[in-house]
Structure 1
Amino acid sequence: MKPPFRIAILECDEPIGRTKAKYGGYGNVFKALLDAGADHLAQQDGVSRPALELKYYNVVNAQLYPKLEDIDAVLLTGSRHNAFDPDPWILALVDFTKKVLAQHRVRVIGVCFGHQIVGRAMDVKVDRSDRGWEVSVTPVRLTGKGSELFGVEELAIHQMHHDIVTTHPSSVAPLGHTDRCDVQGMYIRAHLITVQGHPEFTGEIVEELLENRHKRGIFSDPVFEDGMSRVRKPHDGVVVGAAFLRFLMEG
């Protein structure tokens, strides 16, 4: 039997309300995604279900990090914070990500804010988009490499961001784009994979975020109504979760 993939999930934020009550933290949201992805992989690829060993690290308040010798991969979660800010915990996260990227055994997975932190660690500009918020289930037009990795021609994925990686680092393969975001994913074989969208999100989670941010005045009525009109549409989160695991299995 193969040993489990030891994945350190760096929790860059905490869920709110009903989502927090159900999952506790974003680590458990990703556990649900990766477990579903492992099942999908076994069914679709006919391989043995990969074993996973997940450990969670609060990098915001506790600023806890794993030792690289104890893990096989790090996964950076999303966050309501801005990846380009100079907060001490964000700078520490960027430094840690640079350390991981500088070696080639431990692999990197980045999601939304995590995708942006990887971009920043690779010295490309991360900034506020001038095209506005991108929210709810959104079609992503994939590159050839994106279609190869995800096994679909177009990827439907939840979005929840106003910040973007402005350009692709020269060393990565682009994975896709949308009208509001040119850099929807980055990939280097056996080294890193990132997505701007949220494969771990469900309609229930995004509905709560839309309602909360609309109530607080962050989302205008049109943004809220548009997001709510698409929030329960089918999406390919599990497909992305399976792609993350295929990435970990790359030789």
Structure 2
Amino acid sequence: MPVRICILETDILVPELAELYEGYGAMFIRLFAQVPEPVECTVFNVVEGDYPSDDMQFDAYLVTGSKADSFADDPWILRLKTYVQERYARGDKLLGICFGHQLLALALGGIAERAKTGWGLGVQRFEVAQGFSWQNPPLQEVTLIVSHQDQVTALPPTAQCLAYSRYCPNAAFVVGDQVLCFQGHPEFVADYANRLLIRRQSAFSAEQYETAVASLEQPHQGELIAQWMVNFAAEPRKH
């Protein structure tokens, strides 16, 4: 049986990026195709109001990244927040990346806001806390592509910090065997991240921009984090 993941896509790419990369749902489909286990992804663009029907069954629900702020009050964001709260109450497994990481933190009682440390850009390294069976292969540290100016500044009451750095203390968190979230982007490839940097260049200092672009030459471990997410989704819940 494949691991079934419902991808709740929270952005619509600008045409020149969509032409090359389609969208974040498609990026995750390509990412999960690289793990050994079969993964079946179904994408719903929640910005457009698209959600799965109640009779559809999934092993996990993944909330993607977005250019939107997780703490904004756009109707589609408020609806998504309510939706993931309902899914959590039902006992469903939830995965979050960047915007999704922040939105799930907010939905479960944490805080996400504009980061005082400014933008996180390029390939960044994080220390990883150990202790979970799904962390296979095990990692003491992980490198991921990041692109964000918001952060989770307070974890939900029941969450444990999973990965951290000086500039991003809550870079990943886990809530029992039900929620797993990462600020970084395992689905990004260097070319896409570079195109984002070029589009947003005016928001950065010259040094920030040059450092971020240079960092994209480094390897990153998105595939390993994808494996963790699949392992997490596949493990039976301990009720």
User: What TM-score, normalized to structure 1?
Assistant: 0.88
Deviation per residue, 1:168-219 (Å, 9 max, x gap): 22212210111111111111343111000000001111000011100xx222
Measure the CA separation in 2 of the matches of 1:234 and 1:102: 38
Q: How many residues align?
A: 234
Structure 2: tracts of 5 or more residues without a match: none
The amino acid across from 2:178 in the alignment is H
Alignment match, 2:208: 223
| Higher mean C-alpha deviation, range 202-211 or range 185-194 | 185-194
Does residue 30 of structure 1 match 2:16? no
Alignment match, 1:80: 67
| Match 1:66 to one of 31, 52, 56 | 52
The amino acid across from 2:200 in the alignment is R
Measure the CA separation in 1 of the matches of 2:194 and 2:133: 28
- Look up the SS of the partner of 2:90 in the other structure: coil
Deviation per residue, 1:2-37 (Å, 9 max, x gap): 2x332211111123455422331211100011111x
Q: Deviation of residue 238 (structure 1)?
A: 0.2
Does residue 109 of structure 1 match 2:95? yes
Q: Deviation of residue 90 (structure 1)?
A: 0.7
Deviation per residue, 1:217-248 (Å, 9 max, x gap): 22221221110110121000000000001001
Measure the CA separation in 1 of the matches of 2:186 and 2:158: 24
Checking the alignment, whether the CA contact within 8 Å between 1:189 and 1:247 is kept in structure 2 is no
Does residue 249 of structure 1 match 2:234? yes
User: What TM-score, normalized to structure 2?
Assistant: 0.92
User: Structure 1 segments of 4 or more deviating over 2 A?
Assistant: 14-19, 144-148
Checking the alignment, whether the CA contact within 8 Å between 2:109 and 2:157 is kept in structure 1 is no
Change (3 A) 1:8 1:224: same
Structure 1: tracts of 5 or more residues without a match: 40-48
Give the structure with the higher percent helix: 1
The amino acid across from 1:123 in the alignment is G
| Higher mean C-alpha deviation, range 26-35 or range 7-16 | 7-16
Measure the CA separation in 2 of the matches of 1:123 and 1:230: 34
% identical equivalent positions: 29
The amino acid across from 1:115 in the alignment is H
Alignment match, 1:54: 41
Checking the alignment, whether the CA contact within 8 Å between 1:167 and 1:182 is kept in structure 2 is no
Does residue 204 of structure 1 match 2:202? no
Change (3 A) 1:197 1:153: same
**What is the CA RMSD across the aligned residues, in angstroms?**
1.7
